[in-house]
């Protein structure tokens, strides 16, 4: 399997622009997570989905952030309008509820966002 695939790997944009980050989870995984990593706040869970349904979005910082999962193989995280404080590395991860039931997360390589 190719693992969790994220795009773009790097994005530089100007304040006020819309940003869309994309994620393809591992085939067969039931759960998809979006995390944000910054030096100041570490790794924060933004939202997670189970079977394409958002379960917990309490970590989404503001209404400017939205996430969708239209099908089992694709998810987007959108920021509109973007602000400099949104600069961070955004990780997508997927997981499954089978087998040993350990809840291990499989992370993508991240999308590094810089908002000028």
Partner 1 sequence: GEDVEQSLFLSVREGDSSVINCTYTDSSSTYLYWYKQEPGAGLQLLTYIFSNMDMKQDQRLTVLLNKKDKHLSLRIADTQTGDSAIYFCAEKTGGTSYGKLTFGQGTILTVHP
Residues making contact with partner 1 (CB under 8 A)? 4, 31, 33, 42-43, 45, 48, 50, 55-56, 91, 93, 95, 97, 102-105, 107-110
Distance in angstroms (rounded) separating the CA atoms of residues 85 and 109: 21
At its nearest, how many Å lie between partner 1 and the CB of residue 90? 11
Distance in angstroms (rounded) separating the CA atoms of residues 27 and 18: 28
At its nearest, how many Å lie between partner 1 and the CB of residue 109? 5
Nearer to partner 1, 51 or 80 (CB): 51
Nearer to partner 1, 19 or 93 (CB): 93
Residue reference for tokens 């958002």? 54
At its nearest, how many Å lie between partner 1 and the CB of residue 71? 19
Distance in angstroms (rounded) separating the CA atoms of residues 50 and 113: 26
Nearer to partner 1, 45 or 72 (CB): 45
At its nearest, how many Å lie between partner 1 and the CB of residue 81? 27
Reading the block at residue 18, the tokens are: 């819309």
Distance in angstroms (rounded) separating the CA atoms of residues 70 and 34: 15
Nearer to partner 1, 74 or 107 (CB): 107
**Residues 6+ away with beta carbon under 8 Å from 2:** none
């Amino acid at each position: 399997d190719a693992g969790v695939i994220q795009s773009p790997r790097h994005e530089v944009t100007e304040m006020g622009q819309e940003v869309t980050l994309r994620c393809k989870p591992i085939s067969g995984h039931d759960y998809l997570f979006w995390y944000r990593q910054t030096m100041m706040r570490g790794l924060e869970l933004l939202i997670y989905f189970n079977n394409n349904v958002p379960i917990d979005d309490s970590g989404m910082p503001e209404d400017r952030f939205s996430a969708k999962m239209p099908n089992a193989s694709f998810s987007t995280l959108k920021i509109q309008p973007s602000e400099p404080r949104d600069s961070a590395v955004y990780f997508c991860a997927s997981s499954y509820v089978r087998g040993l039931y350990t809840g291990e997360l499989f992370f993508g390589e991240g999308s590094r966002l810089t908002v000028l």
